[in-house]
Amino acid sequence: MPRTRVLAIDDSALARKILKDGLSAAADVDLLGVCGTLGIALSRGSETPPQVVVLDLFMADEDWSSSLARVRSAWPRARVLALVPDSPEGLAIGQQARAAGALDVIARPLTDAEFNSDPAAFCERLLGKVRAMSLAATNVLARTNILPRSALPAPRRAARAVPRIDVLAIGVSTGGPNALAEVLPALPESFPIPIVIVQHMPPVFTANLAQNLDALSRIDVREAADGVELRPGVALIAPGDRHMTVERKPGGAVQIVTNQDAPENFCRPAVDVLFRSVASCFGSGTLAVVLTGMGQDGLLGAQVIAAAGGTVLAQDEGSSVVWGMPGAIARQGLADDILPLNRVAPDIVRRVTGTRGDLAREA
């Protein structure tokens, strides 16, 4: 069994014990060490380099951005899992750390008493994230073996008649906040169809993400909730730890329904859940976009959308932080096109306007 080399850095004695106990007990983890200071960790630079670094962003006498930059400089191929307290400040810093190069974020209980009350639950979440990181074929700073377009299946049904598009569904994971911050602000205020989004994130993070994207965008961006109706020009982001589906009501209105059914692809919310639901509700009128992310969540849902006559787009490898989710779509020949990130929004607008005539907002 391949073992992932992990180094953990945290100035809390309790956190170090919990990290050490949880990581060292995993058969697929090679724990290189649990260090109390950044200096001690960086002194190991001549030793075996870590593949994953679990980094506490709230260490005393350390600025989180400097700590992250020093870790990335010391081990440019390592994937950084940022550890933050489960508080508004901690979650906000976690969002900023993602933008600065942390591949993922994990929140821990705010007090030592809470942390020590159920360390096994935290370690289970921690190991899930470490294992997901170990499967990533690329990382933020080093991408190799990028496939030429000639090595991929041809775009699906490139010459087919494009159906009228009635909904935009986006699935994204690692690197998603930055990707969404490029795509959504590029959509016009008069964007004539609703948007539903699954971004793999825990609770609270998704609310913060929606607020940040709303401030950047001309369309409205909100965290979804049960009973909210889909509206043209409004993007709804699935709340953390809840699957999101859509349901058509008598009279034609389509509204959000969330649930806490079992995770799919180790994820809740899962892109596959949303995509299947959208395909069932909108059929060939679905435009699905799969952006950067680890794993292959969205693949099965994209198959359902394609079978219903909908359109599927995938982000290309060169512009993805991790080409797992969009790569799975491309390799299966499900993509109507494979696009660099800076071309995703223009292509969406072109396809939507081409099937609707103009960008007049519908009532």
CA distance 193 to 311: 15
* Residue owning tokens 């995993």: 26
CA distance 338 to 331: 11
CA distance 36 to 168: 46
Q: For residue 34, report the phi and psi dihedrals to the nearest 5 degrees.
A: -125, 110
The most distant pair of C-alpha atoms in the chain lies apart, rounded to whole Å, by: 67
Q: What is the DSSP letter of 152?
A: S
Confirm whether 46 is a catalytic residue: no
Confirm whether 243 is a catalytic residue: no
Number of neighbouring beta carbons within 10 Å of residue 195: 26
Of 237, 133, 123, residue with least CA distance to 177? 237
Catalytic residue among 104, 166, 200, 217: 200
Q: Let me know how long the chain is.
A: 363
Catalytic residue among 12, 67, 134, 173: 173
Of 348, 109, 330, 88, residue with least CA distance to 235? 348
Do the bridges between strand 337-339 and strand 104-108 make them parallel or antiparallel, or are there none, so unpaired? unpaired
Catalytic residue among 10, 297, 316, 336: 297
The residues carrying an active-site annotation are: 173, 200, 297
